[in-house]
Structure 1
Amino acid sequence: MKKNREILLISCYELGHQPFTLASLSAMLQQAGYTPVCVDTSIDALTDEQIHRANFVAISVPMHTAMRLGEQIAQRIRTLNPAAHINLYGLYALLNADHLLKENAIDSAIGGEYEIPLCQLIAATDTGSREDVPGVYTRTHVSGPWIQRTPFIVPERSHLPELERYAHLEWGNDSRVVGYTEATRGCKHTCVHCPITPIYHGRFFAVPAEIVLSDIRAQVARGAQHITFGDPDFWNGPTHALRITRAMHQEFPALTFDATIKIEHLLQHRHLLPELKETGCIFIVSAVESLNNDVLQQLAKNHTAADVAAAFEETQRVGITLRPSLLPFTPWETLESYLELLTFFEVNHLIEHIDPVHLSIRLLIPPGSAHLETPGSSEWIGEFDPDAFGYRWQHNDPRMDQLQAQIASLVEQADQMNTDSIMTFFQIKARALALQGQKFSAFKAMRQYGERKDLPHLSESWFCCAEPTSRQLCAKQA
């Protein structure tokens, strides 16, 4: 261990997959001569002994759920080991740095390409240097995100929990072990609500294909039968993406994969979909968000409701499942358009394509959000809520806030009771129609829905844009 440093790397939650942010940083630190201890608190308990031994703690917060959990862990570490340097890194770290530094919860924060600044920060604390480290935000040094190309190396996963302990691919009676990697970082698009926008501002970096393939090989050797490409948009660089999937399929022809691709790119590059299918793609996640064109324009999604319908047709034509992520509760959505969203999935027999949690998701406005810079935002954005790490807002139609709260509770209870997802969908529709004074039988609708589709999906629902419920926060703390 270099200079007797005890470096503790912590992941709180990364959508049910083995934490890439620990694997990538661990590889860089080991190359620099350190031997970090890695703990994924969504899988294993963080012990008091580990906390007491640590001189330097880095907590990964790539998403809002992880930020909520990470703040609680930082407070625990501060109490048990006040001398340890506590760093947050990831998308949400820099966005929340001011508040957390003021509360003495952390000592530093890094946003953007985190590996190099973190390694330099650890080296500086080794020598007792008081000089400011570029890309590191502290109480004495204000820094923006570090947006420079990382000298990528193969992620180190040997000290992480086994892949079998994470989310699986489920498809009928088949269950497959899932690996996770990233072919790019950042995003060339600037959707207004996206936390990537205030950090990367439309920039993205391609990870060398051989690095990605080496990471895939290592995970296949550890049992991976399916790979999730976690890029914000796998087709930010479609040529780069296809180069990787072709080589992966040639080496591992039985390996399947999924990826996240914008509706815009699915239509722009629809001619590439057959090859994507041939090389093992079984489903695509796409940020549909809404079918209200006013909402889509406000979010700068660069697609329309008609485009969404066309994307479903194109993916169905080639035999790839499209799994949309949704953001149905924004200031611009209406009760009528919410019901139209439900009707679209019901009439087109697409209910199986969505996880019920997506029908409850409410717009989050973290510090630094591009929404804060849009004209007229002061009219609907309220005060900052430090407990929620976001700004408050209310819908001008109180029924929408009431509906969102009801659906969030309903979805949580359905998840606890393992309720049939089709039934949950129609229970949601019943709640929405009730606010219009209409009666609706969820049981009758479920009976009339017809034959169920058996679609591939991950066993962990996609909570990236959702504010975590109290049960999720408890469950993710092992």
Structure 2
Amino acid sequence: MFENFIIPPIGLSYVAASLKKEGIDVEILDANALQMTWEQLEKELESRGKVDVIGVTGMTPTIDRTYRTAQIARKHCKHLILGGPHGTICTDQTFDDCPEVDIIVLHEGEVTAPILIKKLENGEDIDDVRGIAFRKDGKIVKTERRDLIQDLDSISQPARELLPMDKYRYPIGKHKKISVIITSRGCPYKCIFCNKTMFGQMWRARSAKNVVDEIENVYRTYGIKSFIFYDDLFVTDKNRAIEICQGIIDRKLNIEWKCECRVNLVDKELLTKMREAGCILISYGVESANQKSLDFLNKGITVEQIRTAFKLSKEVGIEKMAYLIIGIPGESKEDAMRTITFAEEIDADYVQISILTPMKNTPLFDVANEKGWIVSKYAKNPYDQELTERHVLATGDIPEEDLEKLMKDAHRKFLLTPKYLFKTVKRVRSLNQIKNVMITGTQYLKWLKSKN
């Protein structure tokens, strides 16, 4: 695990806040932030005695880790509840794969969780609780879907007081401690590899004032000056984004922050305001330098828009992360190399290169499944080095072993060039940044040398 890349469990924190609001006693044990071993987790739960409910959250890339957590936790509670995207997307499979899970909260949990837990506390039937799935008489029961929350301002701020707030880190930026802000939910765009089951296609946003109130509260309460805007897309409504930036400026909040944007939604006016408000990094979904691949992925952007967004971001002083994908159906090895060299052409400050993965409940998965492209295999998750099942595309265009080598060669080519090393040294402004460079560099070199 990257010790300088630890993100707070914001989803659990939102649910915990809603439980507290309803008078339910709740604690959060962030074993990840505390860097607990499995043995330490077992001992910690044992020391707390048996409780009524333990909730865990799970995402598909690390679901085997979630299952192992559930296996340990189930011995120390009456009911084990799973939340998060994986259980919502792969409900039946989750129950099959992890018999320790009693109930799955589907989609958003802030409204559902308090209702469910009160029913469990009172020994009442849960059949009428909307938005859950559970085992009953050897069968899986799914109740009526709960509507997504429309008024996000009505949700309580995350229960950060239950978290070890001094433990969270991000490898980019001059400040040591970080926190996460979610200003909106959902994404209106239709990229075929992206799953929108959790928060839906409809974009829902908090008001600018509500967002800035939370930022100020975290800033004043915990002394945190570095934030990650964890939205699928921060800039969906330009006017709201500018209003948030202006609120940060007007309240004189001396912070730095990072976010994700689409290249076709930014312009010079917006980027200038974002930089003035403390934005230091934008992660863009570049995906490919080949227009035919962008069209296949249904990105709705052009190569020229990518160039423009990176140029404007550089002009205003915001660093750029390029998310790149190789292994797109129809691409040759030369096409993949074109994408990799494109990162240098647009002067990306950072790159993250991935092999296209068909996630369940996505149009890509459906197409790949129909064409017989999907192969399941176990591989080490680079985050925690644990074996995790994943689906890969076997299209025949580029062999998988060549893609793996290409991905590592690309990272090596980008990260170990004199230009990149010079930029890395030039951006160092604090002891924390020196530490981040050393830790991240060491971890990347280990990964580049590894065979799997």
Q: TM-score range by the shorter chain?
A: 0.7 to 0.9
Asked if 1 retains the 8 angstrom alpha-carbon contact of 2:288 and 2:326, the reply is: yes
Q: Distance in 2 between matches of 1:241 and 1:348?
A: 25
1:53 paired with 2:50, answer: yes
TM-score under structure 1 normalisation?
Answer: 0.76
Report the Cα offset of residue 54 of structure 1: 2.8
Which of 93, 101, 108 matches 1:106?
101
Asked if 2 retains the 8 angstrom alpha-carbon contact of 1:28 and 1:153, the reply is: yes
What does residue 414 of structure 1 align with? none
Report the Cα offset of residue 393 of structure 1: 2.6
Q: Distance in 2 between matches of 1:292 and 1:77?
A: 47
Q: 1:448 to 1:248 in 2, by over 3 A?
A: closer
Give the secondary-structure state (helix, strand or coil) at the position aligned to 2:298. coil
Asked if 1 retains the 8 angstrom alpha-carbon contact of 2:54 and 2:80, the reply is: yes
Asked if 1 retains the 8 angstrom alpha-carbon contact of 2:42 and 2:72, the reply is: no
List per-residue Cα deviations over 1:211-233 (Å, max 9, x = no partner): 42332123212121122111110
Report the Cα offset of residue 15 of structure 1: 6.1
Q: Distance in 1 between matches of 2:142 and 2:395?
A: 34
1:197-216 matched pairs, under 5 angstroms: 197-216=196-215
Q: 1:390 to 1:94 in 2, by over 3 A?
A: farther
Instruction: Give the counterpart letter for 1:260 in structure 2.
Output: E
What does residue 382 of structure 1 align with? 374
Which of 150, 153, 157 matches 1:154?
157
Percent identity of the aligned residues?
19
What does residue 302 of structure 1 align with? 300
What does residue 229 of structure 1 align with? 229
List per-residue Cα deviations over 1:342-400 (Å, max 9, x = no partner): 222334544xx224xx22x12222332222344x751143366698565443131343x
What does residue 452 of structure 1 align with? 423
What does residue 132 of structure 2 align with? 136
Report the Cα offset of residue 111 of structure 1: 3.4
- How many residue pairs match? The answer is 409
Asked if 1 retains the 8 angstrom alpha-carbon contact of 2:256 and 2:280, the reply is: yes
Q: Which moved more, 1:318-327 or 1:362-371?
A: 362-371
TM-score under structure 2 normalisation?
Answer: 0.80
What does residue 216 of structure 2 align with? 217
Instruction: Give the counterpart letter for 2:273 in structure 1.
Output: E
1:67 paired with 2:70, answer: no
Q: Distance in 2 between matches of 1:410 and 1:87?
A: 42
Q: Which moved more, 1:362-371 or 1:178-187?
A: 362-371
Which of 14, 17, 24 matches 2:14?
24
Q: 1:105 to 1:410 in 2, by over 3 A?
A: farther
Asked if 2 retains the 8 angstrom alpha-carbon contact of 1:183 and 1:231, the reply is: yes
1:364 paired with 2:352, answer: no
What does residue 116 of structure 1 align with? 111
Unpaired runs of 5+ residues, structure 2, are 379-386, 441-446
Q: Distance in 1 between matches of 2:155 and 2:4?
A: 20
Unpaired runs of 5+ residues, structure 1, are 1-12, 412-420, 428-441, 463-468, 473-478
Q: 1:287 to 1:134 in 2, by over 3 A?
A: same
Instruction: Give the counterpart letter for 2:213 in structure 1.
Output: S
Give the secondary-structure state (helix, strand or coil) at the position aligned to 1:190. coil
Q: Which moved more, 1:50-59 or 1:451-460?
A: 451-460
Q: Distance in 2 between matches of 1:449 and 1:129?
A: 60
Q: Distance in 2 between matches of 1:384 and 1:449?
A: 36
Report the Cα offset of residue 315 of structure 1: 1.0
Report the Cα offset of residue 262 of structure 1: 1.0
Give the secondary-structure state (helix, strand or coil) at the position aligned to 1:452. helix
List per-residue Cα deviations over 1:229-265 (Å, max 9, x = no partner): 1111001223222222211222134212221111121
Asked if 2 retains the 8 angstrom alpha-carbon contact of 1:169 and 1:226, the reply is: no
